Structure 1
Amino acid sequence: MTAAKLEIPEAIVSALGDWVQQQAEQASAGPRAELERSEQALAEVRGELETASAARDQAQALAAARDEEIEQLQAELRNARSIATDALVGKAKDQLAIEGKDAQLADLRAQIERNVAAAAALSDARLTAEMELVGAVTARDNYAAEIKELRARLATRQAA
């Protein structure tokens, strides 16, 4: 005994195949649209991350440049102090040997006052440079916090 084979006409098989494909496309249309929206949102967040990363890199480069400037100013200040001290000592010795004590003291006082004013100007320049560095470091920290926030939002969107 052989089992009878059921033969389905080709037109019905083709119509069923078309119907199944149509149902599958309709069922996947919503998820595809959502996937496309998610990919667009992800691309936007990636763009924001790149922008924030570039800004952070610029801030770090600026901070490094300011650090270098501060180091240079400090070295120049030390050198200027040394030169001024040597000049004052040399001049004081020469004047003590030549002039009277009262005139020497008045001249030395004027020199010291000028030297103190010059040292104060150098100190002010150094303080200004340090304050600019603090501003650059603050900007860098702000960019780092913004990047961290963007990464957290990106992770939240990817998890969802």
Structure 2
Amino acid sequence: MAEHNIPQLDIPASVAAALNSWVRQAAQDVGSPLRSEIEDLRAQLATAHATLEENEDQITRLNGELRNARNIAADALVGKAKDQLAIEGKDAQIAELRGQLERSVAIAATLSDAKLAAEMELVGAATARDNYLAEVSELRTQLEACRAARRAG
């Protein structure tokens, strides 16, 4: 094959300036929605963190209330048992104590269910936070890839 000498073409400065302006505008147009989405995700992440903190506070409060309720119930049962045992009619006493114990267990179960529900909300908030963090990381990677492609282009 014969080699041909192809003359080098110089791009006029006005064309280069117009291309440069167009490339910058295109890069801004492409990056703008990503920046907006990143800000939205950051706001969602902040909301998830706030919810997580609220849930942690609520769990701590519920644990304290549960301990207090157990102590009150135990004290009440002991006091009631001492009073009841001093009276005749052991069968009636046993039935009453059984009812109190069942109510106490029901209260403890209700508090336990509330604690479990709060913990499940906390797990959900933590999962949502982790998902938001992963999305932010992915978007940052995409943004960096866009920037790298823009620099390479």
Q: Shorter-chain TM-score: what band?
A: 0.7 to 0.9
CA deviation after TM superposition for structure 1 residue 112, in Å: 0.7
CA deviation after TM superposition for structure 1 residue 42, in Å: 2.1
Counterpart for residue 25 of structure 1: 14
Does residue 116 (structure 1) correspond to residue 105 (structure 2)? The answer is yes
Number of residues of Structure 1 aligned to a counterpart in Structure 2: 139
Normalising by structure 2, we get a TM-score of 0.85
Counterpart for residue 91 of structure 2: 102
Moved more, 29-38 or 116-125: 29-38
Q: Aligned partners of 1:55, 1:112: CA distance in 2, in Å?
A: 45
Runs of 4+ in 1 over 4 A off after TM superposition: none
Gaps of 5+ in 1: 1-21
CA deviation after TM superposition for structure 1 residue 151, in Å: 0.5
Superposition pairs for residues 138-157 of structure 1, below 5 Å? 138-157=127-146
Normalising by structure 1, we get a TM-score of 0.82
Q: Aligned residues: percent identity?
A: 54
CA deviation after TM superposition for structure 1 residue 131, in Å: 1.1
Counterpart for residue 45 of structure 1: 34
Q: Deviations over 1:34-69 (max 9, x none)?
A: 121112222221111111101100011011001101
CA deviation after TM superposition for structure 1 residue 78, in Å: 0.5
Q: Deviations over 1:92-146 (max 9, x none)?
A: 0011012232222121111111111111111111111111111111111111111
Q: Aligned partners of 1:38, 1:99: CA distance in 2, in Å?
A: 90
Counterpart for residue 8 of structure 2: none
Q: Aligned partners of 1:137, 1:99: CA distance in 2, in Å?
A: 56
Partner of residue 83 from structure 1, selected from 72, 75, 98: 72
Q: Aligned partners of 1:145, 1:54: CA distance in 2, in Å?
A: 14
Paired residue type of 2:68: N
Aligned CA RMSD, in angstroms, stands at: 1.4
Look at both structures and tell me which one has the larger radius of gyration over its CA atoms: 1
Counterpart for residue 127 of structure 1: 116
